[in-house]
Amino acid sequence: MTARVLVVAGVASGVGKTTITLGLLEAYRRRGLTVQAFKVGPDFIDPGFHELVSGRPSYNLDGWMCGREHALATVARHAADADLALIEGVMGCFDGADATGEEGSTAQMAKWLGAPVVLVIDASSQARSAAAVVQGFERFDPDLHLAAVIANRVGGEGHGRMIADATRTSCRAVPVGALARHDDLVLAERHLGLVTALEGPLTPARRALLADVVESSIDLDSLLALASPLPSAGLAGAIHWEGSEGAARPSLTMDSGGGQAPLRVRIGVARDAAFQFYYAENLDLLRAAGAALVFWSPLADAVLPDVDGLYFGGGYPELHARRLSENAGVVKAVGEFAAEGRPIYAECGGLMYLAEALEDLDGVPHRMVGLLPTTVHMAPPRLTLGYTEVHFLAETPLAPAGAVARGHEFHFSTIDPVPERVRRVYRLGGRRGAERAEGYLIGRTLMSYVHLHFASNPSLARSFVAACAKG
């Protein structure tokens, strides 16, 4: 079977597109299909669930951070051996980097890929009006191929038939199913979104129930028939980027067969319930640059692994602050690792761990590594959310002065003012034009709240591996 592609979009956040995407992944796997999942936008949590269900890493597709050619190559490469590429959208179908254009949106990604869109609607409080919503989405952007509709949270079979009849008579999109509300399938949430896959909310029993519900509620054969062939199969080769200066964008060349650089260093990647937010492609690019990745746990491990550099991603350190603090041997070892001048890159949750103290959700402070002279506060919660462009102002383990990369911030925590003696090596450019200094460099430890996508400038991965190789 030739690989095919579908995009699952929602009319808004919270309509159930993640649940339906997971159900489709599980149901098609039951049928013996190999399914490759992707996620539009900068989300970390949904890809974790995708990987749990599909058994394959899920990759982010972000138009603003990484561009069109990167998205096409990523889908072609990772879905080349799959039967179906299933792409979960972000927020509402047309929501993206700003309110005046489609950049970063699910609609933009679907049009780049030439992929049919399955629109998920929450029909819990409407009947014929649901067709007006679907028709509005069709008319808003006629270039978007809105192929099918799934009604979620219907009141029963009769309600589902009403939605289907209204849609069928008023819209081009085909109604392919309706799901009743199932409280047993609702995934728990917290302040940054869903409780993560690593924490076990999607049990085997819940996965089986989810697939049962999807199989009985959605016409899987009709939906699969609507999927289109993957575009530009020739783009499945390696992605190469030119230069490290400016806002790098990928230029595509075919992989000559080498692909992986010779092993040069070992990088310790913190991965446990406290640190688990990493773009799959960041890790791939580090490996491609010659790094062996050693996954370890600041929560559970008694010693640091034998590595040349450390990478702390985001996550929920505030939920595990006491355990992190009580693992005093590792806290001390991380501080000594930094004092020896070995490279450390820490983003968001990693920055919080490397601070002097971290307050938990009850406002109780816990001593952390102490590299960054500040305290992290969780109260009062203040949401920071948005894309940002990072301009490197000085030499760092991640990039030289003058390099540019793109990333995203999403956190509720704040920090006390960092003393001016600590170097700021980032100039952050926001979508609305405001600029600010950030990116704290102490020795060879780089700390920031920004989650950088290395594919926005893959020289970041090469630079970090080179820095680790220098010792």
Mean pLDDT of 273-292: 97
Render pLDDT for 173-186 as a digit per residue (tens, 0 to 9).
999 999 998 877 77
Say yes or no: 311 and 420 in one domain. Answer: yes
Which range has the top average pLDDT, 64-78, 176-190, 258-272?
A: 64-78
Q: What is the CATH number of the domain that holds 177?
A: 3.40.50.300
204, 230, 256 — which closes off a domain? Answer: 230
Q: 256 pLDDT exceeds 50?
A: no
Say yes or no: 16 and 143 in one domain. Answer: yes
251 found inside a domain: no
3-state secondary structure the chain: CCCEEEEEEECCCCCCHHHHHHHHHHHHHHCCCCEEEEEECCCCHHHHHHHHHHCCCCEEECHHHHCHHHHHHHHHHHCCCCCEEEEEEEEECCCCCCCCCCCCCHHHHHHHHCCCEEEEEECCCCCCHHHHHHHHHHHHCCCCCEEEEEEEEECCHHHHHHHHHHHHHHCCCEEEEEEECCHHHCCCEECCEECCHHHCCCCHHHHHHHHHHHHHHECHHHHHHHCEECCCHHHHCCEEECCCEEECCEEECCCCCCCCCCCCEEEEEECCCCEEECCHHHHHHHHHCCEEEEEECCCCCCCCCCCCEEEECEECHHHHHHHHHHCHHHHHHHHHHHHCCCCEEEECHHHHHHEEEEECCCCCEEECCCCEEEEEECCCCCCEEEEEEEEECCCCCCCCCCEEEEEEEEECCEECCCCCCCEEEEEEEECCCCEEEEEEEECCEEEECCEECHHHCCHHHHHHHHHHHCC
Mean pLDDT of 360-369: 95
237 found inside a domain: no
Q: Which residue has the higher pLDDT, 255 or 409?
A: 409
> What's the pTM?
0.91
What's the chain's average pLDDT?
A: 91
pLDDT of the residue at 263: 86
252 found inside a domain: no
Look at the chain and report how many structural domains it folds into: 2
230, 249, 277 — which closes off a domain? Answer: 230
254 found inside a domain: no
309 found inside a domain: yes
- Quick check: is 171 catalytic? no
206, 230, 254 — which closes off a domain? Answer: 230
Q: 290 pLDDT exceeds 80?
A: yes
pLDDT-derived band at 232, boundaries 50, 70, 90 = low
313 found inside a domain: yes
Mean pLDDT of 118-127: 95
Say yes or no: 278 and 221 in one domain. Answer: no
Mean pLDDT of 85-94: 97
pLDDT of the residue at 192: 65
Q: 334 pLDDT exceeds 50?
A: yes
Say yes or no: 161 and 215 in one domain. Answer: yes
Say yes or no: 192 and 300 in one domain. Answer: no
pLDDT of the residue at 245: 37
Q: What is the CATH number of the domain that holds 307?
A: 3.40.50.880
Render pLDDT for 426-465 as a digit per residue (tens, 0 to 9).
999 966 667 899 999 999 999 999 999 999 999 999 999 9
Q: Which residue has the higher pLDDT, 293 or 243?
A: 293
pLDDT-derived band at 1, boundaries 50, 70, 90 = low
| pLDDT > 70: percent of the chain | 92
Say yes or no: 222 and 273 in one domain. Answer: no
Identified catalytic residue from 93, 171, 348, 468: 348
Domain of residue 354 covers 264-469
235 found inside a domain: no
